[in-house]
Structure 1
């Protein structure tokens, strides 16, 4: 192997030429590195954007499923209201066999939280961060409303086994639970409306999740008649395709 010794620089022009070659090489290398980093960031941002949008589409489909059951929920609350009004503080004029509860839809924030925690959301534009981030707030609001709603319905189900007259305290107790349930159905409706309106502006459409449909093969529990005996309701709801977690008392 021949080893060539570096030639001595004989003039400032030769020195500047050598330095220029080195500088140009460094600039080219840095430019290429920056270009690669930019392309990588764009790819990461695109993946984060699509992941969050897919989560939004899934949540929108769950919200649509909830809207389908709203008439059943409102009808059941009206039935309970009429029973309380007719009974006053005395014996229940009609004992409900099956109060049940609204179906529960858990909205996920996992992909948004993962993208935020990893810093990928910072690669999106400020407008995108703001518009997509609103859905995280909406999801939390919806889930909180559902939790309060389920608590109210757990109180209303006490009418199924109530013995004796309601009395002043019993009447107030059930009336308060009924009012809370009515408020939460309004809260969920408003939240769903906001989500769909924002999604429409962003061009995001609901899509059915790959692992879960928004409807059951059997009726939703709250859609069964209030006169349905509990044993019969449980038998109907235990058919194939129904949720496996049973029904609360």
Structure 2
């Protein structure tokens, strides 16, 4: 005969749910620990990325402040060049230093985005960096247009006499350069404000360089008029 044992459901279910509870709690603890480790790793990566980002922003801050110092001089140079074109039949000699071409770098931001670090930044911090580097990209595009336009004007050195066509072309290019100069100044001011709001300071060496440049003279394209910046 078979020996049949009765099941004790109450006692059995209690043990069953107790074991399930232990497993659930164990899984929860494991997941929580894993999440904490992941958060700590992302925090470490964010801090490392911020060092690179802030260093590049500091370089862009120097470029923006330098540009603001140079804006008035650039406008004077363009106005003087326009006067020369109007009054002279000779092709003007253009100074190669009449345009500032800077890097306006955003490679650190691109690297942070590609690595996934940006997605784990606090939203206010992420928005600040996005605004600063977005402005840098805009200025870089404008600055490159400005540089290529000045480079194009250098070809006029091959001419000794201004024709009506070349005169019109010069005046058109001067007007475009003036517009670019003003746009870059506006964007540079915006960048300085954004960086100041982010509490990122200029490097001491950059401040010394800016102070030295502020005392330089503004040399006009005909090399005859020197005006303080």
CA-to-aligned-CA distance 1:37-81 (integer Å, 9 cap, x gap): 222222223333343233222211122222333343222212211
TM value normalised by structure 1: 0.71
Tell whether 2:196 aligns with 1:206. Answer: no
- Label 1:209 to 1:41 Cα distance change in 2 as closer, same or farther (>3 A): farther
> Is the alpha carbon distance of 1:66 and 1:208 closer, same or farther for their aligned partners in structure 2, counting shifts above 3 Å?
farther
1:11-160 aligned at under 5 Å gives the runs 11-12=11-12, 13-87=14-88, 91-92=89-90, 96-100=92-96, 101-160=98-157
Report which of the two has the higher share of helix.
Answer: 2
What is the distance in 1 between the residues matched to 2:193 and 2:53? Answer: 17
Given that residues 80 and 220 in structure 2 are in contact (C-alpha distance below 8 angstroms), is that contact kept between their aligned partners in structure 1? no
Gaps in structure 1 of 5+ consecutive residues: 1-10, 229-249
Counterpart for residue 185 of structure 2:
189
> TM-score when scaled to structure 2?
0.76
Separation in 2, partners of 1:140, 1:191: 10
For the aligned residues, what is the CA RMSD? 3.1
2:165 paired residue number: 169
Q: 1:28 deviation in Å?
A: 2.4
Partner of 2:227: none
2:163 and 2:175 map into 1 onto residues whose CA distance is 18
Q: State the distance in 1 between where 2:218 and 2:159 align.
A: 22
Judge conservation of contact 2:76–2:220 (CA < 8 Å) in 1.
no
Which residue of the partner structure matches residue 8 of structure 1?
none
CA gap of 1:223–1:160, structure 2 versus 1, over 3 A, is farther
Unaligned runs of 5+ in 2: 1-10, 224-229
